[in-house]
Amino acid sequence: MRDDLLDAKAAVDWAVAQIRILHRRIARWLDRGPYFAVTVPDSQPGKELVKVKEQVPIPPSVNAEASAIIDMLRTSLDLLVIGLAERNGHSRPKDVCFPIASSLRDFIDPIDGAARRKLNRLAEKDRLTIEELKPYPGGDERIYSLHQLDQLRRQHRLVEVSARPRSMGLINCGSNAGPEYLYAGKVEDGALLFRLPAGTNAKVDLRLEVTFSDTPYATGRPVVTTLRDFASRTQEIIAKFDEPAP
């Protein structure tokens, strides 16, 4: 790989290594059976509720590590643009970064759109290559989602625990149980799962996942899978500029 891309590549390589560590951390936590279902009386006569009971909370380090990985992947794109500016003869530029806009208009508007101006120090062919990536909603959704999560990580937690509805089922419900599904998409202590006739003796198999809670692309998707998607996309983008030096 060309020398001016090595910093960007190193940032992605670090993120990929951390994703493997995060994957193992999440797997160890899930193996401990952190949540299970309990049945409690309902306020409605003749009914009972199935709720989530927390046994082992998700380690705060999971969110911290996911946030750090997002930060480094987003940074790798800025390092890419800095390297391309230096390739074009600008030493240590301070006014360039990888542009990601909130809309196509914001990206291309010559007066109010600042995104494209962040590429002014790049060679024409490199600038056009980045513009063709369409780094805005309706274009490259992975890159735009990465950018959104990079901003949101400063405001609140990005990860949550969820159970996919298709993998959460009732076992040994008895006849005529007629469960009413109450699951709202987030697993936490006290979260409601079902309402059932009293005496059903339900046993609920909770199959858990650690997922993202923000952005249209990432919401509800497993954290590790999504981070791998982001890493793969940044690697693809960096590779576009790895042509032989003249």
CB atoms within 10 A of CB 118: 20
Using CB atoms within 10 Å of the CB of residue 130, give its burial: 0 to 12 exposed, 13 to 18 middle, 19+ buried.
buried
**Does residue 196 contact residue 179 with C-beta atoms inside 8 Å?**
yes
Q: 52-108, pLDDT tens digit by residue? A: 999 999 999 999 999 999 999 999 999 999 999 999 999 999 889 999 998 888 887
**Residue ranges per domain, the chain?**
3-239
- Predicted TM-score (pTM) of this structure: 0.89
Q: 180-218, pLDDT tens digit by residue? A: 889 888 899 999 998 988 887 777 888 899 999 888 999
Using CB atoms within 10 Å of the CB of residue 197, give its burial: 0 to 12 exposed, 13 to 18 middle, 19+ buried.
middle
Quick one: which of 51, 54, 20, 58 has its CA closest to 209?
Answer: 58
Measure the CA–CA gap between 23 and 55, rounded to whole angstroms.
20
